[in-house]
Structure 1
Amino acid sequence: MHMADALVSPAVAGTMYAVSAAAAGYSIYKVKKEDDASKIPVMGVMGAFVFAAQMINFTIPGTGSSGHLCGGMLLSALLGPYAGFLTMIGVLFVQCLMFADGGLLALGCNIWNMAFYGCFIGSILIWKFIMKNGVSKKKITIASILGCVITLQLGAFSVTLETLASGITKLSFGAFVSVMQPIHLAIGLVEGIITACVLVFVYEARPELLWGIGGSSEKLKNRFSLKKTVAILAAAAVVIAGGLSLAASQYPDGLEWSIEKLTGDTELESDGEIYDKASQVQDTTAVLPDYSFKDSDSAAGTSVSGIAGALMVVAVCTAGCFIFRFFKNKKVKISE
């Protein structure tokens, strides 16, 4: 659901950068206040995991469309809304600049649509509410599916509103909504199931990693150490990024499919100096455009892109923790 620059006007792009920056600023303040250094490795590894998972587009049967994990709900269920939101920004930042996935002008929109709803609405209003009287596999599954469906619907609707407000395309608002919402309902259901599977694993391995379960009356036992749990998730990210990504569906994702339904093409053209400059920046920074080697469709390019991107997300998230001085306690213990 990464929006391209051709969908947004400079005014809408600037507005969405501002509101996303405000949410990021507040998140930085809250994470600093939490001062939990143990989140550093989890932010890096789970950011890499979400990046890798987003590379696997799954086919939506009978539609000719595909979808992929957004990840906001997953991250916030482990890290809380604030650290989860900042981690998602790291993922989207790397995707935009390193792989030209989503427009540079539209980055503020993509942060809002793909990160804000999942991390704030999904975690605070859905996940935490369902978990307030105790956690269980059933509750995790319900919260994951409900959260992913609702927040993806909100994100898809925001795409149509931002496109409408921009007024630079011929896409009819009513027609756009009529195709965007149903296809992202199906995508949300699949994302919810995937999210539930990951969170159930964490619940069985290291339940204390789950966010918002402090009110649980049951004494939860850790099956694995934090180090082992993080290592398993890191290994999964590498396998997904370097191997399973090769099996990604070739169908257009929900947004591209919706645009194609209305225009006959998955891409729209944009004219103007600001669009040209944004494109030039991405042409310069995108060392692996479209998750492949330049001028090559080799499978090796996809695998290299997956692993390199996952490592870059780890680097960006970890560096961000120390640049913004999130944690006063500099010792990060992950062996317990």
Structure 2
Amino acid sequence: MSDALVSPPVFILTGAVSLALLGTAVWKVKRERNDRPANGREREHLLPLMGVMGAFIFAAQMINFSIPGTGSSGHLVGGILLAAILGPWAGLLTLASVLVIQCLLFADGGFMALGCNILNMAVLSCLVAYPLVFRPLMKPNASAARILTASLLASVVSLELGAAAVTLETELSDITALPTGRFLLFMLPIHLVIGIGEGLATAAVIGVVQRYKPELLAEAATQPAPGRRKLGKALAVIALAALLIGGSFSWLASSKPDGLEWSIEKVTGGTDLEAAEEGLHGTSARIQQTTALMPDYDTSLAGIIGSGAILAAVFGASYLMRAGQKQP
């Protein structure tokens, strides 16, 4: 979402809810790392895995795939995939980190809309669709068919909830001329198709992890914890994939408008909505002008730089968490 869709009250409300949930996520992740689960598995690898998975999702989000017959495109959100590998709270933190860096460094999504975007993309996928849809359908050593079913259903639910939330937040903001019913009429079908694409991609990645590194899955209670050497190799492979996607495959991304832009265009005739130049909207624009070193990904190295920024942010957080812990 851009700032043009969000009013100051909605900005304050969604920002407060997002901050509260992110604070809870930090506490949950610290506790998960420090406490030994009942099955004896420790998740010391969680923070480095968050870093490389965040870099992978950032790079993957840069690849917009065309949706035939619509003139629109979609991209991976990654919430279900992150929650399946990291757990819901760590997945939330990782995806929120991606959204923050996209907003501040690349001016992708509005600063005032950041709380909305975290709720719509990270919270609804990691804390709603994952525990309510994906996890009940998955089993240890799940078959390819079960992985595909769980991934498709959870991704579709996540995207449809997000599309409905965007429409609701726009209506509550009441600063655009977008008619709610017609806007929703375009948002839901296009995000249904995007959700199917996301589900297929999610199932493919989880299927590979299930086959070759099942111990990395968040719910792999029956698997032994990975050794440091094996973990290092797995992290290196994921990081290399992120750099490869961000540095090469992202050039193949579709230039067609994404699902939200396409829906706005169908309703208004154009994809651009102008935000107010004064008040909080003006302040938000000035913040992004200051922080966005590469607005609109205007460099061929944007994918690599963004992936590196995600790694730096998560490993920096890892250092701060470790610094505050007493050594045994």
TM-score by length of 2: 0.92
Match 2:6 to one of 5, 8, 25: 8
Paired letter, 2:78: G
State the match for 2:233 in structure 1: 228
Q: Is the 8 A contact 1:132 1:213 kept in 2?
A: no
Give the letter for the 2:182 counterpart.
Answer: A
Range with greater deviation from structure 2 (102-111 or 267-276): 267-276
Per-residue deviation, residues 148-200 of structure 1 (Å, max 9, x unmatched): 11011001100000000000000000001000000000000001111111111
Aligned length: 317
Equivalent residues in 2 for 1:248-327 (5 A)? 248-271=253-276, 272-292=278-298, 301-302=299-300, 304-325=301-322
Which range moved further: 137-146 or 166-175? 137-146
**Residue identity in the other structure for 1:8:** V
Q: Tell me by how many angstroms 1:264 deviates.
A: 1.0
Amino acid at match of 2:303: G
Distance 2:134 2:217 in 1: 10
CA displacement at 1:276 relative to structure 2: 1.2
> Of 54, 57, 73, which residue of structure 2 is paired with 1:50?
57
| Farther off after superposition, 185-194 or 34-43 | 34-43
Match of 1:202 in 2: 209
Q: In the alignment, which of 244, 256, 270 is matched to residue 239 of structure 1?
A: 244
Q: Tell me how far 1:26 sits from its aligned partner.
A: 1.2
- Three-state SS of the structure 2 residue aligned to 1:66 is strand
Q: Which residue does the alignment assign to 1:296?
A: none
| Residue of structure 2 aligned with 1:100, choices 95, 107, 117 | 107
What is the CA-CA distance between 1:28 and the residue it aligns to? 1.3
Alignment partner of 1:225: what SS?
A: helix
Change (3 A) 1:237 1:266: same
CA distance in 2, matches of 1:172, 1:330: 58
- Letter paired with 1:4: S
Q: Which residue of 2 aligns with 1:144?
A: 151
CA 1:89 to 1:242, structure 2 compared with 1: closer, same or farther past 3 Å? same
What CA distance in whole angstroms lies between the structure 2 residues aligned with 1:328 and 1:202?
31
Structure 1 residues 330 and 319: CA distance shift in structure 2, 3 A? farther
SS in 2 for 1:144: helix
Does the CA-based 8 Å contact 2:65-2:74 persist in structure 1?
A: yes
Compared with structure 1, are the counterparts of its residues 208 and 164 closer, same or farther at alpha carbon in structure 2 (3 Å cutoff)?
same
- The answer on whether the counterparts of 1:57 and 1:68 sit within 8 Å (CA) in structure 2 is yes
Tell me the residue number matched to 1:297.
Answer: none
Identity, in percent, stands at: 49
Alignment partner of 1:159 out of 154, 161, 166: 166
- CA shift for structure 1 position 255: 0.2
Shift of 1:323: 2.7
Q: Distance in 2 between matches of 1:255 and 1:326?
A: 42
CA deviation profile, 1:17-40 (whole Å, cap 9, x unmatched)? 011111111111111111132111
| Corresponding position of 1:172 | 179
1:121 CA displacement: 1.6
2:82 is the counterpart of 1:75: yes
Q: How many angstroms apart in 1 are the aligned matches of 2:292 and 2:193?
A: 31
Distance (whole Å) between structure 2 residues aligned to residue 252 and residue 128 of structure 1: 32
Shift of 1:326: 9.4
Cα pair 1:39 1:79 within 8 Å, conserved: yes
Unmatched runs of 5 consecutive residues or more in structure 1: 293-300, 332-336
Query: What is the deviation of 1:237?
Result: 0.6
Q: Secondary structure at the match of 1:88?
A: helix
User: Once superposed, what is the RMSD of the aligned Cα atoms?
Assistant: 2.1
Give the direction of change, closer, same or farther, for the CA distance of 1:62–1:326 in structure 2 (3 Å limit).
Answer: farther
* CA separation of 1:91 and 1:281: change in aligned 2, threshold 3 A: same
Q: Which amino acid aligns with 1:209?
A: L
Partner of 2:17: 19
Give the distance between the partners of 2:101 and 2:327, measured in 1 at CA: 25
For 1:326 and 1:69, the matched residues in 2 are separated by 34
User: Amino acid of the residue matched to residue 274 of structure 1?
Assistant: L
1: CA distance, partners of 2:235 / 2:208: 12
- Partners of 2:268 and 2:142 lie apart in 1 by 46
Residue 329 of structure 1, CA deviation: 8.4
Change in Cα spacing, 1:107 to 1:56, as seen in structure 2 (3 Å) is same
Distance 1:328 1:200, change over 3 A: farther
What letter is aligned with 1:6? A
Per-residue deviation, 1:321: 2.7
